[in-house]
Chain A
Amino acid sequence: MTGARPQGGAQFGAQVGAQVSALAAARFRALVPPLLDDAYSLARWLARDGDDAEDIVQEAAVRALRALETTVVERPKPWFLAIVRNAALTWMARNRAESLAFAGGLDDLDGLSPADGGDAPADPEATLIAAEEGRRLRRALASLPPSFLEIVVMRDVNGLSYRDIAEAAGLPIGTVMSRLSRARGVLAQLMRAAP
């Protein structure tokens, strides 16, 4: 993680700029909080940095709040994650114009403990193996090109359907399927290869 930097999305301009009705705020409170974990995971994969991911999700939340003024959302998850993805792209274009998107960040990933743990094995050896598997998986994922990575994350981390991913990414379903298929093949290979 990067150290000292302004907190709270100051540099990403989290200004709402407009006013918002109580109704939009109520919709927002019902829809968005339960989606923050998913949003954060997606943003963090796309930005490769925890602080940046927070800025991105916060910006996405601002956009969502504004949109809820005029929108009734039927399926909140794909809707909000599409906003997160677009906010991430904007963010990258604005802040990472020079450096290649997705440069670095691997050490950051290695330091992460798996967020799940629901089925964490009890004995130490199995825990070690699971940790090792997690490390390898995250390295393998991180090596995917962004256009493939985002599909895998939206599918297997966020649990979106092909159709939802196609809409969120603005791609034909066929492209979603082929990218996912290719990415899984590569992941399987990398996972199988020596650590």
Chain B
Amino acid sequence: MSEPSPDPRELRLNAALDGELDDDSARALEQELAADPALAADYRRLEAARDAVRRHGRLGPAPRGLMDRVLALAADAVTADAPPTVVPLAPRPLAPRQRLAWREAAPIAAGFAALGFAAGLGLTALRPPDASRAVADALVADYARAAIAGRPFDVASSDRHTVKPWLAGRTTVSADIVDLAAQGFPLAGGRVAVVDRVPAPTLVYRHAEHMIAVTELPAGTAGAAAKAALTTVDGYHVARWGDADLAYVAVSDMDERGLEAFVAAWRDVRATAPVGAAPGGAPGGAKE
């Protein structure tokens, strides 16, 4: 196939198929298509080719081993990182803080990472084939989308008295806002995740450059037990726990120990101070 001299007619049809025409041109073309059966036939022919590639052109998904090795590239930096301790962190600029040794044997690192993950938590199947898995998948997708869009939250505030009413206006359950600033996990904001087509309040906490998104769901939906359970989905760590009324799912890019520490802190604070009820709670104030 030599470099073609493009047929402007086909270029235009393709641009329309690819959503690359501006509104006026797209409307004009629509009218032409309605009036010109030959043009419309060409359009459908190209559309069929495009659709066939969309349907059958994907050669995936990426093998699990590849995902593991790629994650190990970053996990290396993480495992060498100090485990987050549950103490207040001084604010610090987002700057490279630590140079970490790099291992070359990514597959080996992946193996160790998986091992450490399973051993550290005493946990469970990595991919339980149940409804809770679907919930975890949905929330991980939500987390990844938010991270990639650069909008980890829809309302940015470290003040729970700002976040709570914002969420209350958009979801059916009233969000539990647990204040973990004193534990080193300041509130960063809130957003609404959609699980099973129902909006669910989600709080976003920070720990250094990591984000932890905690979504509150009706009990039973998340497969949550009294004991927190950790899994990993697409490289993100997911913790699930719950009580009689509500289930919670936390998704984070922190390593599993960090997430475990977060969940422990969360449950600790929640147990000692029922949140949202305290009438005179100082905004953003720590317990005790």
Residues of chain A contacted by B97 (CB below 8 angstroms): 21-23
**Is residue B268 within 8 Å, beta carbon to beta carbon, of the partner chain?**
no
**Is residue A16 within 8 Å, beta carbon to beta carbon, of the partner chain?**
yes
**Given A26-B253, A182-B6, are A133 and B46 also a contact pair (CB < 8 Å)?**
no
- Alpha-carbon gap, A109 to B69, bound state (A): 24
Residues of chain A contacted by B55 (CB below 8 angstroms): 114, 116, 130, 133-134, 137
Residues of chain A contacted by B147 (CB below 8 angstroms): 30-31
- Alpha-carbon gap, A130 to B100, bound state (A): 50
A188 and B100 form a contact (CB under 8 A):
no
- Alpha-carbon gap, A1 to B57, bound state (A): 18
Residues of chain A contacted by B48 (CB below 8 angstroms): 188, 191
A33 and B67 form a contact (CB under 8 A):
yes
User: Which B residues between 225 and 269 are near A, CB-CB below 8 angstroms?
Assistant: 234-236, 253
B73 and A141 form a contact (CB under 8 A):
no
**Interface code B1-35, partner A: CB below 8 Å = 1, 0 otherwise?**
10111110011001100101000000000000000
Chain B interfacial positions (CB closer than 8 Å to A): 1, 3-7, 10-11, 14-15, 18, 20, 45-46, 48-50, 52-63, 65-67, 69-71, 73-74, 76-78, 81, 94-102, 104-107, 141, 144, 147-148, 150, 208-210, 234-236, 253
**Which of B50, B77, B94, B234: most chain A CB closer than 10 A?**
B77
A33 and B77 form a contact (CB under 8 A):
no
Q: How large is the interface on A (under 10, 10 to 19, 20 to 34, 35 or more residues)?
A: 35 or more
Q: B126 CB to closest chain A CB, in angstroms?
A: 15
**Is residue A39 within 8 Å, beta carbon to beta carbon, of the partner chain?**
yes
Closest to A175 in B: B3
- Alpha-carbon gap, A28 to B144, bound state (A): 12
**Given A8-B69, A16-B102, A145-B1, are A33 and B54 also a contact pair (CB < 8 Å)?**
no
Instruction: Tell me which of B50, B52, B58, B101 contacts A19 (CB under 8 A).
Output: B101
Residues of chain B contacted by A138 (CB below 8 angstroms): 56-57
**Is residue A152 within 8 Å, beta carbon to beta carbon, of the partner chain?**
yes
**Given A40-B66, A137-B56, are A181 and B6 also a contact pair (CB < 8 Å)?**
yes
Residues of chain A contacted by B62 (CB below 8 angstroms): 36-37, 39-40, 57
**Given A57-B66, A162-B18, are A21 and B59 also a contact pair (CB < 8 Å)?**
no
**Interface code A80-119, partner B: CB below 8 Å = 1, 0 otherwise?**
0000000000000000000000000000010010111000
Q: A128 CB to closest chain B CB, in angstroms?
A: 14
A22 and B77 form a contact (CB under 8 A):
yes
Of the A-B pairs whose beta carbons lie under 8 Å apart in the complex, a sample of 24, sorted by A's number, is A9-B106, A17-B102, A19-B101, A20-B100, A25-B76, A26-B74, A26-B210, A33-B234, A34-B144, A36-B62, A40-B66, A74-B150, A109-B59, A130-B55, A133-B55, A134-B55, A137-B53, A141-B53, A155-B18, A156-B50, A179-B4, A184-B46, A185-B10, A187-B53
